[in-house]
């Protein structure tokens, strides 16, 4: 269960569209040399009666109910200042002082009034592009999935649309080499971007991937948010930390998607569980953002986090369309 300590306090309702880095950004060395997580800070505030693992009554929203995902048995405790508050979302409390605004399971994201029409009813591949200017020009909003090679990006995309082979998965990392657009419900796009950090790819090809991916981030006017995929089954990688900091420094809206959260073998990968790696990663990038980026824990194997990702996309998308 994801426990929350939420004291009644004033907070700024910052939006997803204003993730600004702090003026002074520490230089990266290696992931192991960055400051350790301060658990005493995370576990000091009074607890709320609301848990992020509690089912969200989707039936109250103006749409059919989404299938509830399997439970996360995590132990991440989230202070109020580390919650992500979507635009135009009121933080409300019960008479007893507990937070009454609902939180998406396995995440730090509050549920807003824009979380509607989240289901995927239709998904189709549209085109592959190697230049931003060659991408679809119909003006529909889009969400880009990017991550280190072998992070499980294609599997996650297939899980989101409930189709096994919409995005081709491969045991060989680096299979995606273009900007791939998939149109969802004829109203928005999921974009599959090339993975980074695959050492076996030719250097010239890796350089091209980096160039056109960054150009896409900086110049794609219909990009609502980048979903940066991080492998939660292993400790933080330097290349992932650098990628997250680059997005922050360039003020590109970002959501952290922690993958492979079903892998819970404590003695492997440095002796830490997935939720511990999730906490560590957030602490390591905290110096690069004035506002806390939204994050969601997922598993393509069990579909954990699938509905939360779709609801999060829906509330960002609907706000973007309105404004």
Give per-residue pLDDT as tens, 131-168: 999 999 999 999 999 999 889 898 898 889 887 656 54
Mean pLDDT of the chain: 75
Residues 6+ apart with CB under 8 A from 96: 49
Higher pLDDT, 25 or 67: 67
pLDDT at 267: 55
- pLDDT score of 219 more than 50: yes
pLDDT at 11 over 70: no
pLDDT over threshold 80, residue 64: no
Neighbouring CB atoms inside 10 A of 44's CB total: 12
Residue 288 has what pLDDT?
A: 84
Q: How confident is the model at residue 264 (pLDDT cuts 50, 70, 90)?
A: low
The total number of structural domains that make up the chain: 1
Domain of residue 314, CATH code: 3.40.50.300
> What confidence score (pLDDT) does residue 292 get?
85
3 vs 59, which has greater pLDDT? 3
The residue written with tokens 């399971």 in the block is 105
Q: Whole-angstrom Cα distance, residue 69 to residue 181?
A: 26
Burial 94-106 (b: 16+ CB within 10 A, else e): eeeeebebbbbbb
* Element spanning 215, H or E: helix 203-219
296 found inside a domain: yes
Residue 99 in domain: no
Predicted local confidence at residue 58, as pLDDT: 33
Residue 106 lies in a domain: no
For residue 119, being part of any structural domain is answered with yes
**Percent of the chain whose pLDDT exceeds 90:** 46
Q: What pLDDT does 176 receive?
A: 57
Q: Is the pLDDT of residue 17 over 60?
A: no
Q: Identify whether 211 is part of a domain.
A: yes
Position 37 in a domain: no
Phi/psi zone of residue 48: left (φ > 0), alpha (ψ -120 to 50 degrees), beta?
Answer: beta
The residue with greater pLDDT, 54 or 300, is: 300
Residue 97: its H or E element: none
pLDDT of residue 200: 55
Q: Kindly state the helix (H) or strand (E) to which residue 25 belongs, with its residue range.
A: none
Domain limits for position 234 = 115-321
Quote the CA–CA distance of 43 and 76 in Å, as a whole number.
9
pLDDT 10s digits, 276-312: 999 999 999 988 888 889 999 999 888 999 999 999 9
Q: How many residues does the chain have?
A: 323
Q: Is the Cβ–Cβ distance between 142 and 189 less than 8 Å?
A: yes
In which element (H, E) is residue 167 found? none
């Amino acid at each position: 269960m994801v426990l929350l300590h939420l004291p009644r306090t004033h907070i700024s309702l910052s939006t997803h569209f204003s993730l600004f880095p702090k003026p002074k950004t520490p230089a990266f060395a290696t992931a192991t040399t960055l400051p350790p997580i301060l658990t005493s800070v995370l576990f000091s505030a009074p607890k709320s009666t609301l848990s992020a693992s509690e089912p969200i009554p989707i039936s109250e929203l103006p749409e059919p109910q989404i299938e509830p995902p399997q439970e996360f048995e995590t132990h991440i405790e989230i202070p109020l200042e580390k919650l992500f508050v979507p635009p135009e979302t009121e933080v409300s409390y019960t008479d007893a002082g507990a937070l009454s605004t609902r939180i998406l399971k396995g995440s730090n994201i509050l549920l807003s009034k824009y979380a509607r029409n989240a289901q995927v009813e239709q998904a189709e591949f549209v085109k592959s592009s190697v230049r931003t200017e060659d991408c679809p020009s119909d003006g529909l909003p889009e969400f880009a999935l990017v991550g280190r090679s072998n992070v499980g990006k294609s599997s996650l995309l297939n899980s989101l649309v409930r189709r096994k082979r919409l995005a081709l998965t491969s045991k060989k990392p680096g299979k995606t080499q273009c900007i791939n657009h998939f149109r969802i419900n004829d109203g928005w796009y999921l974009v599959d971007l090339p993975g980074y950090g695959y050492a076996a790819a030719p250097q010239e090809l890796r350089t091209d991937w980096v160039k056109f991916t960054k150009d896409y981030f900086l110049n794609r006017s219909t990009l609502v948010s980048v979903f940066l995929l991080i492998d939660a089954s292993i400790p933080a990688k330097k290349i992932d930390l650098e990628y997250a900091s680059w997005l922050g420094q360039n003020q590109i809206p970002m959501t952290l998607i922690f993958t492979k959260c079903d892998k819970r073998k404590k003695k492997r990968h440095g002796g830490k569980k997935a939720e511990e790696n999730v906490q560590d990663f957030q602490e390591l990038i905290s110096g690069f953002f004035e506002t806390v980026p939204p994050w969601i824990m997922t598993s393509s194997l069990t579909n954990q986090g699938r509905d939360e990702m779709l609801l999060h996309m829906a509330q960002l998308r609907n706000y973007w369309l309105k404004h």
